[in-house]
Amino acid sequence: MAIANVFKIVVCIVILVMVGWFIRPTSTPEDDHGLSVMSPVERDFDQIMESGVIRLVTRYNSQTYFLQAGTERGFEFDFFSAFAREHGLRVEVVIPNEDEHPIDLLNRGDGDAIAANFAVTEEREQFIGFSHPYNLVTEILIVHENEVDLYPDVESLAGLTIHVRRNSSYYTSLRRLQESGIDLVIETVSETIDTEALLGLVSTGEILATVADDNLFTAASIFIRNIAAGPSVAETNPVAWGIRKNAVELGLRMNDFISTHFQVREEDGEYRRSELMNVLRSRYYENPRAVLHNRWQVRNKTARGLLSPYDDMARRVAESVGIDWKLIIAVIAQESRFDPQAVSWMGAVGLMQIIPKYSELDTDSLLFDEEANMREGARILKQHLVHFAYLDSVNQMRFALASYNAGIGHVADARQLAIDLNRNPNDWEGVQVSLLMLMNREHYKHAKYGFVRGIETVNYVNSILNRYKTYDMLLARAAIDA
């Protein structure tokens, strides 16, 4: 009888465990701010240095980050890239989708830092850490110039509907005003609508008011008419890079860098900025001619192509070969940064860095012709895609790009090593580890094709796929804005 009772108890426990398994939450719980409650991944400065890549979460606009003739620009991108160069790192940009929060992207490891004119707030500090500030901004109400006299102070905002993004610091500042007794109305908008776009809606009268940092308003007022600054809703907010709380060493390195470019003197509160910082502020916020040029680059999507000066050519070539034109542009951006006269130390030439001995062209000089070079590069890339056509689309593209960079022989060696290590040779995640191992003599001495700079190939593949994803986002956004 005792044994039977024990058996019943065990069965009940098993059933309860199974029920608990099936009814467990299927997604990460969220806090009151819409952020996922998750522990940050372990990826600090040493891991970033080992990968050679630091991933930047930012926004696409004419001050923060944008493409200019295929080249990445923007205040946040340029300043962050200066930090990356000091440590020999390459920057990969991650732009959140509408349903993605920058802090979630950071904590789950999709990005390593947030640089997007990101204000330090108590709410954000619950989830992430921050570097030293590199700017201090004042948040101000923005209304149509015909309405500005109606709002001389924050008390006058009672009853006013103000449009802001839910995950912005502006929302937090307005909530505090509500809590202080000012009966204003907060209307939230899509996370893909940036401050610049909201200022444009104020200009046209489509919304009554929004909030912007004073530096953003300074730049926007150069090219957006009929907007005026009302009262401040938050004073001297520090702007800093957001980092994971457990990325302690990365934070220290960032602080060392920032302290050489921005300081606030304790004796009088005056700002001291480096020459680099002053140049970037002028280029993206203060110089009317430069600001207008940057705005044109972002808004004019057809003059020279949204992604690069070679968009139309890439479309023609891609159609004739049968591959995605965005992939061609992504490869060109990585290989030559759109310089048709580029020549590498290995003798690779042109937009897609073709090595002459692998070309089918009659003369090597033709490789400096933009379209001829692009067609050769697309042909070679297509061959690699066909070679791996039996794989799923993501792995097919990864292995094709790896072969384009390192050669099909080195990729074959890496796949064989993966088999020897009981890993799947058709899964890039395992094969990229093999490529790294082939930089060590104990492994490459047994490989048919010998040593390969595996870290270069891994970074190459990941960088192009990241850029390809960014291109998809920009084209989708352009279609929405059209």
Q: What amino acid occupies position 206?
A: E
Q: Where are the alpha helices (DSSP H) in 300-407?
A: 311-321, 325-335, 370-387, 393-406
User: How many other C-beta atoms can be found within 10 angstroms of the C-beta atom of residue 448?
Assistant: 10
Q: How far is residue 56's CA from residue 250's CA, in Å, rounded to a whole number?
A: 13
User: How many other C-beta atoms can be found within 10 angstroms of the C-beta atom of residue 31?
Assistant: 11
Distances (CA, A) of 209 to 149, 170, 219, 253: 13, 12, 18, 39
Q: How far is residue 175's CA from residue 168's CA, in Å, rounded to a whole number?
A: 11
Would you say 157 and 151 are in contact if contact means Cβ atoms under 8 Å apart? yes
Distances (CA, A) of 98 to 39, 49, 81, 482: 22, 30, 25, 18
| C-alpha radius of gyration, the chain, whole number | 26
Q: What amino acid occupies position 15?
A: I
Residues designated catalytic: 335
Distances (CA, A) of 290 to 196, 285, 322: 16, 8, 39
Residue 475 DSSP SS3: helix
Would you say 361 and 367 are in contact if contact means Cβ atoms under 8 Å apart? yes
Strand intervals (E) in 192-341: 209-213, 227-239, 242-243, 262-264, 271-273
Q: Torsion-angle region of residue 205: left (phi > 0), alpha (psi -120 to 50) or beta?
A: left
- Which string of b and e fits 261-271 if b means at least 16 CB within 10 Å? bbbeeeeeeee
